[in-house]
A and B are shown apart, each in its own frame.
Chain A
C-alpha cells in the first residue's frame, strides 16, 4: 500500500533553532501533501496544504514566515520551523494523497515529535 515516510521522528533542540522536517511519498506521486500539528490530548489540526510547484496554502492563524513549506517534487515536501520556541513543541504529521480525487483517504507519515527546550 501507499507509504509516506517522515523524517526525523524525534527532535530535541534549543530555543531559537530552526528545524526541518521531511515528508516523502515512497511509492506514489503526491501533488498535494498536508501538514498537521497535534498538541497533547487535542485533535490533529491542519496547518497548511503543500502544493507541488506552487506556494503552500496556510490555515488561519498559522504564520507562513514561521512555518516554511517547500514542495519541490512530486514525492517530497519539507516543513521548516524557523526560530523554534517551546510553544512550538508538538507532534507534527504530514500526509499525502495518491490521487487528485477529494474523497480518497490520506496516508500519514510516522510523525515528528518536536521538543524545544
Chain B
C-alpha cells in the first residue's frame, strides 16, 4: 500500500470552476500535513499547511480527517495560474528524529480559459 495516495488526475477544468483534491495516508502516527504545488520542471512550493480544524487561505481550503487518514484541498473560482501539480505531503515522525516528508505522486490540474 502506498504511503500517500492521491487522485490520479489529470483534472481539466474551466476557469471559475471549483475543484477538489483528495489524499489518503497510511501512517496513523503522521504528525503534520501540507499541500505543495509544483509547476512543470520546478521545485515544490508550499501552498498551505493542513490542520485538523480545517483552514482557509483565500480561494483555497484544506481539511484533515485524522480518523479517516484523509486530507483534502478545495480550490474555488479556479484561475489559469492555478494550473500545476498539487502534491499531498505528510510529515512522519521517526523515533525522535525530525521527521520525514512523504510525497504523493501529485494530481495535475489544468485550468482552461
Contacts and interface: CB of A to CB of B under 8 A. Distances in A.
Interface of A: 6, 32, 34, 41-46, 49, 91, 93, 95, 97, 100, 102-103, 105-111, 113
Interface residues of B, number: 23
B32 A110 contact: no
Nearest to A109: B43
Contacts of B105: 41-43
A100 B44 CA distance: 21
A44 B41 CA distance: 12
B32 A102 contact: yes
B44 A108 contact: yes
A108 B101 CA distance: 12
Contacts of A34: 101
Contact of B98 (A44, A102, A111): A102
Contact of B91 (A41, A49, A102): A102
A103 B99 contact: yes
A6 B43 CA distance: 10
A109 B45 CA distance: 9
